[in-house]
Amino acid sequence: MKPALSQVSSLHSPFDKDLEDYAAGQCDAVEVWLTKLETYLQTRSLDDVRSLLADHRVSLPVASYQGGLLTSQGDARREAWALFERRLTLCRDLEIGTIVVACDVFGSLTEQDLERIHVSLDQAARMAARYEVRIALEFQSGAALGNNLLTAAALVARVNHPHLGICLDAFHYYVGPSQSEDLGALSKENLFHVQLCDLADTPRELAADAQRILPGDGDIPLAPLVARLREIGYDGFVSVELLNPQLWQVPPRQFGEIGLTALRSVLGIASMDAG
């Protein structure tokens, strides 16, 4: 497993500042927050991004996140898919191998919606393949469909495309209807990315993204999850992803140091080797 930090954990810090400060804390892999990158590119070039990465010896293996692809219709669908293709181009040009796609299926569903989801996932996987990018489908705990790991695995299996896999977010895994037995649905082949965090003193029914804290500081049983990753031989990236407004006030250099330390500690639960 390869530790990484998600830029959303320092949401108010600019793209280039994150890279500089995370690197200072010995982080060499960053899950890029796409809106930050896109904002930076409004005044800079792709070559500027490449220079930053080279100067700080940092890679961008994963990008987050793309929504609106699965059940949107009309103009909203056209806009979402056009943005997705632009982002795939960006990922290809910067050698970002994986993009997280949210399973943002909300509201009541019809049989037509179910078929649209399957068709959309197949279309997205085929499009991503043309750009040599993989899609990591992130199940959402509050979704009408795809709110748990088992369903996410079933959606991925039905499409059965090598460029479509699962993003396992510990928050959505813990607060949603997923069960520990669902970890058995994970394999080295279908798991494309992992995001870790924790929650403390919060009933799962009331938990919100803003309450995410550093992994290992709360109540989420991360040890079985990490043990399963090791069991299947997962050798991809595991990032710290926090959407906590209080932690957004922490300078990115400080967050980078404490975040990476916490992540390495959690990944070392099942073994002294955190890599």
Query: Tens of pLDDT along 13-55?
Result: 999 999 999 999 999 999 999 999 999 999 999 999 999 999 9
User: Cα torsion for 57, 62, 66, 69, to the nearest 10°?
Assistant: 140
In total, how many domains does the chain have? 1
pLDDT value of position 176: 96
Q: What percentage of the chain exceeds 70 in pLDDT?
A: 97
Question: What CATH number has the domain bearing residue 243?
Answer: 3.20.20.150
| Residue 125 pLDDT grade (very low, low, confident, very high; cuts 50, 70, 90) | very high
pLDDT value of position 270: 35
The number of angstroms, rounded, from the C-alpha of 107 to the middle of its chain's C-alpha atoms is 23
Which tokens in the block code for residue 253? Answer: 């250099």
pLDDT value of position 269: 44
Range of the domain at 57: 2-267
User: Cα torsion for 174, 180, 184, 187, to the nearest 10°?
Assistant: 30
pLDDT value of position 273: 42
Amino acid at 166: I
Helical spans, DSSP H, in 71-196:
74-93, 111-130, 149-159, 170-175
Q: Which residues of 212-249 are buried (b: 16+ CB within 10 A; e: fewer)?
A: bbbbbebebebeebbebbeeeebebbbbbbbbbeebbe
The number of angstroms, rounded, from the C-alpha of 234 to the middle of its chain's C-alpha atoms is 15
pLDDT value of position 234: 98
Identify whether 250 is part of a domain: yes
Q: What percentage of the chain exceeds 90 in pLDDT?
A: 93
Average pLDDT over residues 81-91: 98
Identify whether 177 is part of a domain: yes
pLDDT value of position 113: 86
pLDDT value of position 112: 87
Identify whether 145 is part of a domain: yes
- Reduced to 3 states (helix: H, G, I; strand: E, B; else coil), residue 229 is helix
pLDDT value of position 110: 84
pLDDT value of position 115: 92
pLDDT value of position 161: 98
Identify whether 272 is part of a domain: no
Identify whether 274 is part of a domain: no
pTM: 0.94
Identify whether 15 is part of a domain: yes
Identify whether 273 is part of a domain: no
Amino acid at 134: R
